[in-house]
Amino acid sequence: MTTKGIAPNPPRIRVGDEFELTFHDLLVNGQGVGRLGSLAVFCWGPLPQERALVRITTLKARYAVATQLRLLSGSPHRVVPFCAAFGTCGGCQVQHMSYPAQLSWKREVVHNALRRIGGLHGIDVRNVLPSPRSRRYRNKVALVVGGGGEQSPPGLGFFRQRTHELVEIESCPILVPELDEIVGRLHSLRLEERLGALYRVARHFVARASAAIGESVLSITTDRESPEIARVAAHLLERLPRVRGIANSFDPASANAVMGREQRTLAGATTIEETIAGVRYRVSPESFFQVNPGVVAKIFALMRGGLAQPRKIVDLYCGAGTFSLYFAAAGSTVLGIEENPAAVREAEANAELNGLQDRVKFEAARVEEAVERPEIAARLREAEILFLDPPRKGSDEATLGAIVRARVPNIWYLSCDPATLARDLKFLTSNGYSVGIVQPFDMFPQTGHVETLVTLYCNAREIQAAVETAFADTPPPEWPDDDQSSPTEYPDFVIRES
């Protein structure tokens, strides 16, 4: 059944029915949102303002999922995807949207989350600061190895979105050129008889590149320590130009884990050095380090004015100390707390690398437990700035409650998920804090992800005024040097309410 005009109360809908729908919204996973009466319909492919013929594939009480059969009218913001795997590979969600439109849409994603989830109305969300590059920006790749048989080598690629189905790739235009070269070589080396045993035991190839030195390191994940990889590691290293070393990562914590709990260096050196804003970071494939250093540099630049004089800072969920070390390099004293011991060891090593060990201290502890300890609570009460960069699930009430009780005068909250950010801001603003700046960054172009830095303040007008003034001096967005869109203005791309 194909229906063109949808009445306010359409007839009974069945799986397999076809409809012409106009789409008015876009989810962060890339699904367009349309409506059949009161029923929301999610479908990959259509953008807002587009009309498409779709077929219902899943039907629930309050929503349906559909497959696009044919696009009937296009959006002015639609572009031709630049990767042949787009639509099958789950890595990117919005390559079919122009980069200026992606930035405008992501701003609306943040704004809508703050309003709908956080109850924060009248908040000014700034324009999204773009990535220096909208392609070729990612400095880390985790390739899945799977399939194959007695007569054919295993495949190499990424998972299809929301599945464990392998999409084989030979090249990825999101990766920096050094990593893309490694992907192509690893794909072709599958056919070498000498390396066949390596591919059969490998679960993942994880590689990281450094823009500072133009070299990469590679780790191969296996279920257990692999003699097969050890035997051919030196040969593989010879076949991978600009790769400094190869490690075996083994004993993964779960079936879905990309890295193992144990690491063994098999050939060469398995660390490389990256530099951001003058701070040196020695990292490996398993490091907790940002994949888009160009955007990290923009975040540093935005915060720089607030660090014009030395501050007392507590950094929660500090990872390998990326931000702690920047704060310390600017002259502040910092306490970083992170539950992963390996990340803390790496942070401490990088503090020594930069000669900052006298200004920054790291603690390996669960954040929600650490903030209840008397000595940490005392550091919170002394802090002028509380910086937190939690995982996608956001923070928790125990941690936020400790911050509120300490009355930390300034909070800088960096979030990778607008929904959990809005939830946490609702708690903080209900307990005496006010929102200052909301600045999104495009850490992951071509995807639905958006990074957002929010400042909050409480009862510290002098510090707050200095910090907020610094943030207010943000330069206008620069245009990526690899984007062909007009650099003069953002298009009027408004996502309407569902």
How does pLDDT run across 349-365, given as a tens digit for each residue? 999 999 999 999 999 99
Query: Do 401 and 327 reside in the same domain of the chain?
Result: yes
Query: Do 321 and 435 reside in the same domain of the chain?
Result: yes
In a domain, 96, yes or no: no
What pLDDT, on the 0 to 100 scale, is given for residue 458? 87
Residues 6+ positions from 57 with CB-CB distance below 8 Å: 15, 65, 66, 67
In a domain, 105, yes or no: no
Query: Do 260 and 325 reside in the same domain of the chain?
Result: no
Domain with 401, as residue range(s), is 115-132+288-472
What pLDDT, on the 0 to 100 scale, is given for residue 480? 54
**pTM, 2 dp:** 0.88
Query: Do 306 and 375 reside in the same domain of the chain?
Result: yes
What pLDDT, on the 0 to 100 scale, is given for residue 3? 58
Which listed residue (92, 172, 416, 458) is catalytic?
416
What pLDDT, on the 0 to 100 scale, is given for residue 227? 95
For the question of residue 89 being annotated catalytic, the response is no
In a domain, 366, yes or no: yes
Query: Do 315 and 435 reside in the same domain of the chain?
Result: yes
Query: Do 179 and 245 reside in the same domain of the chain?
Result: yes
CATH number at residue 408: 3.40.50.150
In a domain, 85, yes or no: no
pLDDT beneath 70: ranges in the chain:
1-11, 459-498
DSSP letters of 213-253?
TS-EEEEEEESS--HHHHHHHHHHHHTSTTEEEEEEEEEES
DSSP letters of 264-306?
EEEEE---EEEEETTEEEEE-TT----S-HHHHHHHHHHHHGG
Q: Of 225, 254, 275, which marks where a domain is finished?
A: 275
